[in-house]
Amino acid sequence: MTLPDHANSHLSPDGEAASFSLLPDPEFPGWHRWQLSDPTRYNDAVLGRTLVRPEGPETARCRIFPGRHLTNLSDQVHGSAILGYIDIAFFAGLHVISGTDVAKGMTVEVSTQFMAPATQDKPLDAIVERLRETKRMFFMRGLIVQDEVRIAAFSGILRKPPAA
């Protein structure tokens, strides 16, 4: 599935530079790199490379590559790293789904149920789905998976960015 035309813009609706870029990743055909304009912020500085691709009209898949820096003392991906990743996946996935620059929106609520540990040596995917959109909110849900193992289920509410 290709990225919708509306998701390729690197300009905000008012013509200013967007707070992130979404460009094809040459190493992973079919995926796009979600990268903030400032690589010293949490997304890139902590989680590292984040990829995203559409999987349906209301669904997107995000991917990170956990390493030792995201592990706990049991050598599994730390739960807080997964929680942070879920938050980033909401915004990256929603952009691909809706074409809206939601980067300055706000997470209102997240509910997560952990089901299995994640390892540091395999990609970690977040499959996000937009359930409903209102004037001010997005209602989302998803799964964190590693290969075929379901790591966590989650749902959340995002508030749209304020109008400029």
pLDDT tops 50 at residue 14: no
CA 50 to chain centre: 7
Domain limits, the chain = 5-159
Average pLDDT, the chain: 88
pLDDT of residue 19: 76
Please give the CATH number for the structural domain made up of 5-159: 3.10.129.10
Q: What is the pLDDT of residue 139?
A: 98
Q: Are 143 and 127 in contact (CB under 8 A)?
A: yes
Higher-pLDDT residue of 55 and 100 is 55
pLDDT value, residue 132: 97
Look at residue 127 in the predicted model and tell me its pLDDT.
98
